[in-house]
Chains A and B, each alone.
Chain A
Amino acid sequence: MSSRIVMKAMIAFYVFLFFLYLFGPLMVMSATAFNTPAYPQAYPFEGFTLGWFVKLWNHRAMMEGLWNSVIIGFGAVAVSVPVGLAAAIVMNQIYDRARGLYYLVTVSPVLTPGVIIGISTVIFWKDMMGLTDFTKAVFYKGVILAILGQSSFIAAYCLLIIMARLQRFDRAQEEAALDLGASYPQVFWHILLPFLKPALISAAVIAFLSSFENYNTTTFAILADKTLVTVLAGEVRQGTTPALSALAVIIISISLAGAIAYEVMKRREEAASERAKERAKLAERGDVMPAAVAAAA
């Protein structure tokens, strides 16, 4: 019995250490955002200030980068989600002997280091777009190359997410619709697409986030432009300022708010389903009771 308690304590201690490792650095960084010294320090705490947030707001390159990051993020979603959907559908219907090769080609970007994807994107598109002066002037831009390079692997994420749901699609639904006279395109628009909607939404969210956070591919593909992440990288390389900590505080607060909202939503859902169950039970008992009373009487 006591060994069980020891075991439990050890597990608790381990979970505590794990999360200390995970959160400790972030908490220290957050503390430096509110401390006055120009070198980000958490201890000793010399005075409370919000000045670093103001400095962050006035940082022009970072705001410009943020804007580009948002554009690239939407661009990556616009390219990756339709491509991932089409690729998942083709995966199901492709000629059997070609499926192995097709699978290998489509998942290979997931297993390729981002640095290599970035490099190959730049080398390839520089020569492709350089073929005519027009394409070079119009398309050879960091934002466009970043969208192309990121979509290379983000489309593969989308493919995997969409395919997971597509595999659970009941073919009988399709057959029923066809028997009732629907055409194949109608089946796609009215049955398959609504069925895939949750997967498409989560693919879009994942696509945007991975685009927004990407560094390895983007740092090559972005050329002379900048994104939030490449600006950050430049700042960290040059030195350290608490303004970066301030940015981290903002990001952490947003994600914490999201996480709490999600948790509250889940709890409400659970409570609602619990109540529904209770009511069902009560209703059942309500049916039984009069009979029992009647029997007793």
Chain B
Amino acid sequence: MSRFAIFLIPVVVIAFFWALARYEAKAVHDPTHKSFFERNGMTLGIVFIALVAFWTLFLVVLPYLYMAQESFHPKLPPLKRGGPEDFLTIQQYRSFFVEPSSGDWNSNHMSAFLFSILASVLVTAANFAICYPLAYYMAQAGTAQKVRLLMLGLIVPYWVNEILRAFSLRLLLASRGLINQALMGLGITETPIDFLGNDTGLYVGLSYAYLLIMIFPLYNAIESLDKNQIEAARDLGAPWWRIHKDVVMPYAKPGIASGCTLVFMLSAGSLAAPQFLGGPRTLWFTLIVYDFFFQAFNWPRGAAYAFILLAACIVFVMLMLRLFKVSLGETIR
């Protein structure tokens, strides 16, 4: 039953805040203050609390905590779980660094992890570079009707799901694909270029999949910038790149942080692009996690690896917030 000990954590946290609230309400007596149930009525109040508790506890907090504790267990057949061999261990995390079967450094998994992170950073930067000009143009230069048309043009491709979009890129980039046909037809290359094997497909696929995720936060942030500020900067003789560096970008910081965070997170955690656009030797961290679940059936190790990925994402989010000096609330809206 030790596995269910994690249930105590949210109970303790909620009890702590509840006690604190009770204490403060007594210390500072405010006659106009109404309790939650007074403000919503008993029935509605209970329904609200029940819905929120179900979501935050059973769909968010407890699954994460449960996965975390699972990652500290050894891999066991179902019958042996809870038995004497079921002790707490860090062997799953250790296996990320040292391969348990051979005792060597686990360079395969570590390099896949690093590659996933670096490629995601690269894709994030590339998408920012691709999307910023269009977002700026739409937000500041376009007329209302033009913007709406562009917006529709952006949204329509995103109704097509991730898998089919990856598939469409594969039709272009495969060795029998249209691009290779064109290159060979023009006589630029003799033999087809292996775009999927050299990871070009992966980069293009990731970038293509998350263009919209970058452009909307940027557009929303730039759109509310007062045009007069840009005019003023221009009148004072600022060159175009200084207008962007010193006026537009500082103003759009929350949008930039939000777009970059989301694109990074989605691409580091993406499954479709590496599965369908990667080559046979492409190492991608989520694919390793996927294999632990569906081929090795080693759930504890998969959970530990998932946790390592989660930790990397948290670090990246914190870094972005620090770098852009924005709060989480400004980023996610």
Contact = CB atoms under 8 A, between A and B. Distances in A.
Interface of A: 11, 14-15, 18-19, 21-26, 28-29, 32, 39-43, 82-83, 86-87, 89-90, 93, 95, 97-98, 101-117, 119-121, 123-125, 127, 148-149, 151-152, 155, 160, 164, 183-185, 188, 209, 212-213, 215-216, 219-220, 229, 232-233, 236-237, 240, 244-245, 247-248, 251-252, 254-256, 258-259, 262-263, 266
Interface in B1-29: 3, 13, 17, 20-21
Nearest to B148: A266
B55 A151 contact: yes
Interface in B90-138: 130, 133-134, 137
A240 B286 CA distance: 23
B265 A105 contact: no
B59 A152 contact: yes
B244 to A, nearest CB: 14
Contacts of B171: 25, 28-29, 32, 40-42, 240, 245
Contact of B265 (A14, A95, A113, A209): A113
A112 B41 contact: no
* Chain A contact residues: helix, strand, loop or mixed: helix
Given A112-B313, A256-B156, A90 B52 contact: yes
B271 A21 contact: no
A125 B58 CA distance: 9
Given A28-B171, A93-B36, A113 B178 contact: no
B282 interface: no
Interface stretch (B186-194, B224-232, B302-310): B302-310
A124 B66 contact: yes
Contacts of B160: 26, 248, 251-252, 255
B266 interface: yes
Given A90-B49, A113-B309, A233 B275 contact: yes
A123 B67 contact: yes
A78 B314 CA distance: 30
Interface residues of B, number: 91
Nearest to A108: B60
Contacts of A127: 3, 66
A155 B52 CA distance: 10
28 contacts: A14-B133, A25-B171, A25-B208, A28-B168, A42-B171, A83-B51, A86-B52, A112-B269, A113-B286, A113-B313, A116-B310, A119-B67, A120-B306, A121-B59, A151-B55, A185-B41, A213-B162, A216-B272, A229-B162, A232-B163, A232-B167, A236-B163, A236-B166, A237-B276, A240-B167, A244-B167, A248-B167, A259-B152
Contacts of B169: 25
Given A113-B309, A219-B290, 15 more contacts: A15-B137, A39-B176, A43-B178, A93-B40, A95-B20, A98-B21, A103-B328, A112-B269, A115-B271, A120-B306, A160-B333, A184-B40, A185-B43, A245-B171, A251-B164
Q: Which 6 interchain pairs have the tightest Cβ spacing? A: A113-B269, A255-B159, A120-B63, A29-B168, A120-B67, A25-B168
Contacts of A151: 55, 59
Contact of A83 (B17, B38, B54, B303): B54
B299 interface: yes
A86 B48 CA distance: 5
Given A111-B332, A152-B60, A240 B170 contact: yes
A41 B153 CA distance: 25
B268 interface: yes
B119 to A, nearest CB: 14
Given A115-B306, A120-B66, A255-B156, A263 B148 contact: yes
B298 interface: no
Given A28-B171, A90-B52, A184-B40, A215 B163 contact: yes
Contacts, number: 253
Contacts of A82: 51
Given A42-B178, A107-B332, A188-B44, A83 B269 contact: no
A93 B59 CA distance: 22
Given A15-B137, A184-B40, A244 B164 contact: yes
A146 B20 CA distance: 37
B317 interface: yes
Nearest to B38: A184
Nearest to B44: A185
Contacts of A232: 161, 163-164, 167
A123 B52 contact: no
A28 B172 contact: yes
Among B134, B161, B313, which residue has the most Cβ atoms of chain A within 10 A?
B161
Contacts of B156: 252, 255-256, 259
B309 A116 contact: yes
Nearest to B163: A232
B63 A104 contact: no
Contacts of A108: 60
B70 A237 contact: no
Among A28, A93, A110, A116, which residue has the most Cβ atoms of chain B within 10 A?
A116
Contacts of A23: 153, 157
A160 B155 CA distance: 20
A263 B147 CA distance: 12
A144 B47 CA distance: 22
Contacts of B236: none
B163 A229 contact: yes
